[in-house]
Amino acid sequence: MTRPSTGYGIIGCGMMGQEHIRNIRLLGDAHVAAIFEPDEEMTAQALQLAPGARPAASIAALLATPGVDCVLIASPNFRHVEQLQQVAAARPLPVLVEKPLFTDPADADKLAGIGAALPLAWVAMEYRYMPPIAALIADAEAATGGIRMLTIREHRFPFLAKVGDWNRFNRNTGGTFVEKCCHFFDLMRLILKSDPVQVMASAGQAVNHLDERYDGETPDIWDHGYVLVDFASGARAMLELCMFAEGSRFQEEISAVGPKGKIECLVPGPGRFWPAHLGAPPTAQVIVSPRQPAGPRTLDIPVDPALLAAGDHNGSTYYQHRRFVDAARAGTPAEVSLDDGRWAVAIGHAAQTSAREGRPVRF
């Protein structure tokens, strides 16, 4: 029997919102029913991707649109909590909200009430669903015998242009360790199955955006840094971020090490940024290296080209939507809860504070 199509109402149709639309179209049993996007150009682009969607003049109008069964919030970071509150108050529907969940630490206290009002509140931590990272997560315990060290390295391109260039300033994003790196702090907690006890960081702005001016202001968003996180389990994790390394063969490299050995995954960046003269982009890999002299085992993790073409996140946006729609239909809990989103932002805020003030931050 064919399942009825789930209708999305989308709040925010900029670059990430449009990636979501392209992936929703691939699901087969979901569609975009309505959109709310204040920018006219972004609205026009979104309607080209989802010509059957109805444009709404407000969030209230979007929620009142017939056929809206769930909501995606993909607006600028600092809007997420207030828009979650509007949905929870006006028409509580299953919600998928983009990361970071919030930017102002004071908003953390509002999450419990929002979560209690919504039937499903899922934070869009799509890095969990990248096929090579998912493979590492599945095999990490067996390969390592219990992770004691976890390292995440991201070498990538600078922040992209957004509507109004809101992502150039810490006041709008929460800072690079919140805006960009909450993904990685979420992965740390997920992989290590533990909560952090201390964060130490060093970071700054060395290369990117220094020659840009917006109403006379120079962007203050950091472009590189290191973060060390100690966990209650005794495990340690490190993040290395460089956002002026767009020539890298792999964008993310994650390694987990324990008494039995090491497992790592190598994830290529978006194909649209790969230099054409270098040929086809590399395939993602997972490598298992036991301590005993058996030799490493390398597994290629190919991703469906249609999923790669639909976004910049190695197919993960599609897999995330698949699981979100299934949970919304079945009434099952979110795989990425508001508490998960809160922790990811809290670690990011701690890293921002540590790097700014030159001190460790304890939880």
Q: Which tens digits make up the pLDDT trace of 254-301?
A: 999 999 999 999 999 988 888 777 788 899 999 999 987 777 899 999
Q: Which domain holds residue 239?
A: 129-312+338-362
We report the CATH number of the domain holding residue 10 as 3.40.50.720
Residue 42 counted as domain residue: yes
Question: Other C-beta atoms within 10 Å of 259: how many?
Answer: 10
DSSP bridge partners of 226: 202, 240
126, 142, 162: which is the final residue of a domain?
126
**Same domain, yes or no: 214 and 308:** yes
Give the pLDDT confidence score for residue 2 in this predicted structure. 66
Q: Which tens digits make up the pLDDT trace of 73-112?
A: 999 999 999 999 999 999 999 999 999 999 999 999 999 9
Give the count of domains, the chain.
Answer: 2
Question: Other C-beta atoms within 10 Å of 195: how many?
Answer: 14
**Same domain, yes or no: 118 and 134:** no
We report the CATH number of the domain holding residue 279 as 3.30.360.10
Cα–Cα distance for residue pair 309/12, rounded to 1 Å: 21
Give 349's pLDDT tier (boundaries 50, 70, 90).
very high
Cα–Cα distance for residue pair 185/227, rounded to 1 Å: 10
The full length of the chain comes to 363
Tokens of 299: 């597994």
**Same domain, yes or no: 117 and 18:** yes
Residue 40 counted as domain residue: yes
**Same domain, yes or no: 192 and 306:** yes
Residue 320 counted as domain residue: no
Cα–Cα distance for residue pair 110/116, rounded to 1 Å: 11
**Same domain, yes or no: 120 and 200:** no
70, 94, 126: which is the final residue of a domain?
126
**Same domain, yes or no: 232 and 273:** yes
Tokens of 14: 């900029």
Once rounded to an integer, what is the mean pLDDT over residues 234-259? Answer: 96
Residue 324 counted as domain residue: no
85, 103, 126: which is the final residue of a domain?
126
**Same domain, yes or no: 23 and 78:** yes
**Same domain, yes or no: 284 and 196:** yes
